[in-house]
Amino acid sequence: MPPVLETERLLLRPLELADADQVQRLFPQWEIVQYLNAVVPWPYPEDGALSYFRDRALPAMARGDEWHWTLRRKQNPAQVIGAIGLIRGEHDNRGFWLAPDWQRRGLMTEAVIAVNDYCFDVLGFPVLRAPKPSRTKPRAVSPRKPACA
């Protein structure tokens, strides 16, 4: 399991199954999901966070293939406001999202710096591939569903 990471304003806590409830309430917003890899289901299932944590993320962390953290403000460590993760492999080694209320304050920049340092200095990744999401070319909406949740 990865350690707790700390930045000026944030605590990055290793993902736990107990975080699933908060993430389920926060994450399924098209404003967030539209920029993510299409592997994230949309519409987001009611047990989406729990099943992803239990069946994918936590086993991958236990194998040493992935490292995920929830983001919390030091001022309110009980509240999850986003997440960031590293994935071993040839593509897409890093992913992150932040709740809309907390965006545009430089918080993810802080988290990314801490996680990049962990990636290179502790895990010893030789390279980190991080495709850039774009406002001008967001993920296509499922033809079955409207753009908004």
What residues make contact with ligand COA under the rule CB under 6 A? 32, 35-36, 95-98, 103-109, 133, 135
* Least gap, CB of 37 to ligand COA (angstroms): 7
Q: Which is nearer to ligand COA, 36 or 60 (CB)?
A: 36
Q: Which is nearer to ligand COA, 14 or 35 (CB)?
A: 35
Q: Which is nearer to ligand COA, 109 or 124 (CB)?
A: 109
**Rounded CA gap, 14 and 69, in Å?**
4
**Rounded CA gap, 41 and 141, in Å?**
11
* Least gap, CB of 90 to ligand COA (angstroms): 16
* Least gap, CB of 100 to ligand COA (angstroms): 8
Q: Which is nearer to ligand COA, 53 or 96 (CB)?
A: 96
Please give the angle made by the CA atoms of 101, 102 and 106, to the nearest 5 degrees: 150
Query: 108: which 2 tokens?
Result: 């993810």
Which phi and psi angles does 94 have, rounded to 5°?
-145, 140
Q: What is the dihedral of CA 97, 102, 108, 110, to 10 degrees?
A: -150
Report the Cα 123 to chain-centroid distance in Å. Answer: 18
* Least gap, CB of 115 to ligand COA (angstroms): 12
